[in-house]
Amino acid sequence: MQSLFACLFLTVIHLSAGIDAAFISSPCRVHQLSLPLSARQLQLRQLHHDPLSPPLSLLAATSTKEQVYIDEEKFLERNARRLQTSIAQRLGVKPESVAINGLNNIATQDKVTVDFDVVGVSDAELKRLANQIAQERQRTIRIPSQMSGESKVLAAVASDKAATTKGKGKEKAPFDATMSKTTLTTLKEEASYPFRNLRYAIYIVGIIGGVLAGAANTLGLLGGEMDINTALQNYAVDGGVLVGAALLFRFERQRQLDATARLELLETRKEGAIAPEELARRAKVIASLPLAVSVGTKASGAEAFKETTVGEIQDDAGQHVVIVGAPTAKVTDALVSAQIKGSLFRNKDVLIVPVEMRRGKGGKEGGKGGGFGEKRPSWRKQGYIAEPVDEESWRAALRKEIQDAERQGAGKAKEEGIVLVVRNDGKVVARRVGTPDWTLVLEAVEPDITRGAKSGEEAPFQTTFQQ
């Protein structure tokens, strides 16, 4: 009996998996079924582009998102002193020793933390306060909409009106398929694996059947109705079914979680894509940002610099600009790793602009990057590295990019840093989170391999961040 049950169990699993694969690969579904379809079935059909399903306008509302940004600067202008005082009181230091750098996770608005440094104190004092500082940086604050200047990203839903159908003198209400992001993700996952729930049921039946069969074996053995050899054989079969069903259930569940996570990430990136009007505006802002390029040495031996803008260096010298915006340690890692490909940057006319998003130990902002002349470390004294002038203008531009990255699912964009690859035609052809892969960066400026562009064609704006 146990062997028959095990064979039946495995056969049904194979059949359900085969039907599942056939459903996914088949260009036509089982259309001859005349049973009435539920709203959920209609949604699933539409996700498969079923030719027999109603038009899209009858099934799904169109959801669009405005590009609305938290005005971090305005919030800090009003509240920096209060935050500075409260943090200093909790740490037991003077208010002027707390340097507010900005806000983390500002795109989520409900889990915002304050990015700050403690400056002007001894190393021993910093070591003593290390745990308190770490806890304070994890403390969350809430930003009311009236204080932020602009509210969180708003969803504007525009729904199409479905034509009503008449039957027997009565009008039926139109099918309302307005779906949230979570529902849409779930439906897509179900559409990809429509018989997953059936397999779940089979696995559960297998687990229960294995347990009950094992209990029956035990009772038969104790009652003397079954010899020990037969009981052991039955235990082996029942145990195999039980363990196999449990492992298959766990495997199927993990596949579902992974698929759902991937779909949610894709939906998040798609919804957080930067609008074309915003892309054009940001391109103008980036072109106007000032920078300083090394032009040799002075008679004193110090480096000589020439101040210009991103737009001018692109137009006059035809150079591509790579902007690395990150905390100091991440910027250092990026520039040190760039030395390996130093000659390639020069050959391909690529200029790197490092922007430190967090204040230095002295709490100073603005001015020129990491310092000039002899104060700059060797890995920063490279001809392909330009220093940002008026760093706060650069930070302000990159904060909006970081908000976009967070809204697209890159929750650690502020800690890991972002990279913008701006081609010499002014287009941002790559947006990435984390330490830059310089091979990909160098490839991104080539017209023939930029996504969506052939040799000689104009490259498109990159609207989403890749990790």
Q: pLDDT tens for residues 128-148?
A: 888 888 888 888 876 654 443
From 67-81, 85-99, 308-322, 432-446, the region with the lowest mean pLDDT: 67-81
pLDDT band at 65 (very low <50, low <70, confident <90, very high): very low
Range of the domain at 256: 2-65+160-271
Q: Are residues 113 and 38 in the same domain?
A: no
Q: Is 228 a residue whose pLDDT tops 50?
A: yes
Do residues 323 and 412 lie in contact, with contact meaning Cβ atoms separated by under 8 Å?
no
Please indicate, yes or no, if residue 210 is contained in any of the structural domains.
yes
Q: CA–CA separation, 427 vs 430, rounded Å?
A: 9
Q: Give the CATH number of the domain where residue 432 resides.
A: 3.40.30.10
| CA atoms of 442 and 459, how far apart (whole Å) | 14
Domain boundary among 239, 271, 303: 271
Q: Is residue 466 part of a domain?
A: no
Task: Name which residue leads in pLDDT, 155 or 370.
Answer: 370
How confident is the model at residue 371, as a pLDDT? 46
Q: Per the domain annotation, does 433 fall within a domain?
A: yes
Q: Is the pLDDT of residue 272 over 90?
A: no
Task: Say yes or no: 231 and 307 in one domain.
Answer: no
pLDDT digits (tens, 9 = 90+) for 379-400: 777 888 889 998 888 998 888 8
Going by C-alpha positions, the residue among 259, 250, 265 that lies closest to residue 192 is 259
Identify whether the C-beta of residue 323 lies closer than 8 Å to the C-beta of residue 438. no
Quote the CA–CA distance of 292 and 432 in Å, as a whole number.
24
In a domain, 460, yes or no: no
DSSP conformation letters of 264-289: HHHHHHHHTPPPHHHHHHHHHHHHH-
Q: What per-residue confidence (pLDDT) applies to 54?
A: 34
3-state secondary structure of 118: strand
Same domain, 61 and 95: no
Q: Residue 101's pLDDT is what?
A: 82
Domain shared by 176 and 291, yes or no: no
DSSP string, 356-371: ESS--TT---SSBTT-
pLDDT at 184: 54
Are the C-beta atoms of 174 and 58 separated by less than 8 Å?
yes
> Quick one: 381 and 293 in the same domain?
yes
How far apart, in whole angstroms, are the C-alpha atoms of residue 327 and residue 398? 12
Residue 318 is assigned to a structural domain of this protein:
yes
Decide if pLDDT at 328 tops 80: yes
Handedness of CA 394, 395, 396, 397 (dihedral sign): positive
Mean pLDDT score, 136-164: 48
Q: Both 305 and 208 in a single domain?
A: no
Give yes or no for residue 461 having a pLDDT over 80. no
Domain assignment present for 456? no
3-state secondary structure of 47: helix
pLDDT for residue 353: 93
Q: Which two tokens stand for residue 166?
A: 């008449």
Instruction: Please report, rounded to a whole number, the percentage of residues in the chain having pLDDT higher than 90.
Output: 4
pLDDT tens across 168-184, in order?
Answer: 444 433 333 334 555 55
Q: How confident is residue 411, by pLDDT bands cut at 50, 70 and 90?
A: low
| pLDDT over 90 (residue 467) | no
* Residue where a domain terminates, one of 99, 122, 148: 148
Q: Of 6-15, 32-41, 276-285, 320-329, which range is least confident? A: 32-41
CA distance 411 to 152: 16
Q: Is residue 108 very low, low, confident or very high in pLDDT (cuts 50, 70, 90)?
A: low
Strands lying side by side in the sheet with 112-118? 98-104, 112-118, 140-141
pLDDT at 318 over 80: yes
The predicted model gives 197-202 an average pLDDT of: 80
pLDDT the model gives residue 38: 46
Query: With contact defined as beta carbons under 8 Å apart, do 312 and 386 qualify?
Result: no
Based on the domain organization, do 170 and 27 belong to the same domain? yes
- In angstroms, the CA 270 to CA 265 distance is 9
Segments in 359-412 forming alpha helices (H): 391-407
**In the predicted structure, residue 43 carries a pLDDT above the cut 50:** no
Residue from 250, 398, 213, 418 nearest 331 by CA? 418
Higher pLDDT, 246 or 264: 246
Distance CA 396, CA 145 (A): 20
Shared domain for 209 and 96, answered yes or no, is no
What confidence tier does 165 reach under pLDDT thresholds 50, 70, 90?
very low
Q: Is residue 324 part of a domain?
A: yes
Give pairs for 201-208: CB < 8 Å, separation 24+.
202/9, 202/12, 202/13, 202/16, 202/245, 203/245, 203/246, 203/248, 203/249, 203/252, 204/245, 204/249, 205/9, 205/245, 206/9, 206/241, 206/242, 206/244, 206/245, 207/242, 207/245, 207/246, 207/249
pLDDT value of residue 264: 64
Q: How confident is the model at residue 196 (pLDDT cuts 50, 70, 90)?
A: confident
Would you state the pLDDT for residue 298?
A: 72
Give the pLDDT score at 399: 86
284 and 267 co-located in one domain: no
Q: Indicate whether 178 and 57 sit together in one domain.
A: yes
pLDDT greater than 80 at residue 92: yes
Tell me: do 139 and 166 sit in the same domain. no
Contact 435, 253 (CB under 8 A): no
Say if CB 352 and CB 441 are below 8 A apart: no
Reduced to 3 states (helix: H, G, I; strand: E, B; else coil), residue 230 is: helix
Judgement on whether residues 128 and 23 belong to the same structural domain of the protein: no
Question: Domains in the chain: how many in total?
Answer: 3
The Cα–Cα gap between 224 and 220 comes to 6
pLDDT tens by residue, 333-346: 889 888 888 788 88
Q: 368 or 137: which carries more pLDDT confidence?
A: 137
Parallel, antiparallel or unpaired: strands 98-104 and 112-118: antiparallel
Out of 103, 127, 148, pick the residue that ends a domain. Answer: 148
Tell me the mean pLDDT in the region 231-255.
83
Query: Does residue 293 lie in a domain region?
Result: yes
Q: Is residue 60's pLDDT more than 50? A: no
pLDDT of residue 58: 30
Least confident of 80-94, 147-161, 214-228: 147-161
For residue 8, what pLDDT is reported? Answer: 54
Q: Which two tokens stand for residue 351?
A: 């200029």
